[in-house]
A and B are shown apart, each in its own frame.
Chain A
Amino acid sequence: MFARLFSASLMLSELRVMFTRRRTWAMLAAIAMIPILLATAVYLSADQIAPGEGPPFLDRVTQNGLFTGFTAMLLAMPLFLPLTMSVVSGDTIAGEAGLGTLRYLLIAPVGRARLLVVKYLATLVFALVGTFVLMIAGAIIGAILFPVGPVTLLSGDVIQIPEALGRMAIVALYTTVSMMGMLALGLFISTLTTIPVGAMTGVLVASGVSQILDNLPQLAWLHEWLFTHYWLDFADILRQPIELGSLGANVILQLGYVAVFGALAYGRLASKDILS
């Protein structure tokens, strides 16, 4: 059963296709630019920022460069990160269909379920790489421009640099998990069309709508079901001890989205006539 659904050889091939594209590298470069721009702007105008002004943590960046990654993640989370995720996930099936390679993969034969599993896992790898790129670029530029030292957490505890780096990795992992639902939604939307740009736009709009709904207090009952609801909760990782409540809820929510949209994507692709 496992062999029917996964193949290391195909996974490697999928990643090779993804990382051969200049677009993938351009997006990763753009992700890396977020902390770099942020840190540079803060560095050049350090004396003009009053404590508490701007996005959370912004004033802390000047005191400790290790905060650059966290702050950049907060900035990237609502729009830029979902944008790159929608490009990658919207392209999964629609991109192959648009090129015509989908028909050749299917007659190889790749197996429709296996193709979906591998495509999905590849988008997850991209999310992981993207979030780590952001955190690492943040740490590096922060270390270059600002002093680096033990980090004072939101709970007031102080952790040493190695542990702070560990927390940064956990934030990157958490953000990747936060993207799982959206990536699954993107995979499903991608099976609906042969025009990749259409699918990408669809996923991005969905994330925008979800965030707007999350901000309407009248819809409070709906909030915990929205895939964007816990996106900014990675701040809980910056407490001692790490607060697990919303993290756990997020994992369950994201897995729920993966199950639902994974099933829908399979239902759609398995019964679809490939006419592209």
Chain B
Amino acid sequence: MKAQGQLAIETVGLEKAFGDQKAVAGISLSVPRGSVFGFLGPNGSGKTTTIRMMLGLAEATKGQINLLGYEIPKKVAEVLPKVGALVEGPAFYPYMSGRNNLIRMDSADRNSNPQTREQRVDSALERVGLSNAAKKKVHAYSLGMKQRLGLANALLKPRELLILDEPTNGLDPQGTREVRNLIRSLAAEGITIFLSSHLLTEIEQLCSHVAVMRAGEIVAQGSLNELRSNGQTRLMLVVDQVAEAKEVLKAAGISKTETLGQKLVSSVDRELDVAKLNKALVAKNIAVSELRLENPSLEEYFVDLTGEGFEVVR
């Protein structure tokens, strides 16, 4: 049954045009199974439209989509039970309780077992920390609680793939942390997670892979490490004897060094053996109060890619 390839999601030349405007302009995504894949881009860059096409909600103008080895939209009914999703924010019946909302959504799925329904709903509610608010009507929920309920809806069944569109939107810092931990634990279970976000820090914290969207196009894609290596790793060093320390660095083959008082900053290879360097410094009787490697900031890289501006691109 699981004879599908290594990719959880694959799109080829995917395009969506509204009139003559291309919301998605021919993107090719490769989301490896088991990855936490960040889908990063500013608001309005075409992320949600892409997700809608993946889930069969909107029809692609051009291109192909393959979800867990199933062709979309042809086989969408077969693959959707294996996919949990949060699309453009949660949506519920405000006059019904959180629990009844989930029961309703589960009843809509003709593949789901009515015998286990209540139990699955309760465990999904527990997983997102909503057990105590389960009987409250949704109109009394805060945005954060609705967001959690949306996640619970995605977790009503064991899934192979979760497509989460801005899952921490509207959450307070504590809620954000909890949701991120939840995503980590889901990923640890081997579920592939496709996470769309406009928050770089979120992607950096959670994801193994990333694709960057800008104005309907993918401007970068790959593992986080691959993208990081596009930037320069820096060595930060704080010592008591700056001149001596510089000598040691030179001996270790690090020549480009800037000095800021007691602090030395140099561009280094990302594989640099820090322990060995520390040993060499100490051997010269240099007191080291700080020594660390700073990975290149993805932020700088992404700002380069997506532009700094506050302006809506289109």
Contacts and interface: CB of A to CB of B under 8 A. Distances in A.
Contacts of B95: 20-22
Interface in A83-113: 99-101, 103-111
B110 A3 contact: yes
A7 interface: yes
A160 interface: no
Given A101-B91, A104-B105, A111-B110, A273 B59 contact: yes
Contact of B96 (A17, A110, A274): A17
A16 interface: yes
Contacts of A9: 107, 114
B14 to A, nearest CB: 14
Contacts of A103: 52, 55, 57, 87-88, 91
Interface in A109-126: 109-111, 114-115
B81 A109 contact: yes
Nearest to A110: B108
Interface residues of B, number: 33
A275 B52 CA distance: 8
B87 A99 contact: no
* Chain A facing B: main interface SS: helix
A273 B88 CA distance: 15
Contact of B107 (A3, A12, A111): A12
Interface string B102-124: 01111111100010000000000
Contacts of B203: none
Interface in A234-276: 271, 273-275
Contacts of B245: none
11 contacts: A12-B107, A13-B103, A13-B107, A101-B92, A104-B108, A105-B108, A106-B55, A108-B105, A109-B108, A110-B110, A111-B110
Lowest 10 A-B CB distances belong to which pairs?
A100-B91, A13-B107, A273-B58, A108-B108, A110-B108, A109-B80, A108-B109, A274-B57, A105-B108, A107-B55
Given A273-B52, A274-B58, A275-B52, 12 more contacts: A13-B107, A16-B100, A20-B93, A99-B91, A104-B108, A106-B56, A108-B80, A108-B106, A109-B56, A109-B81, A109-B110, A110-B108
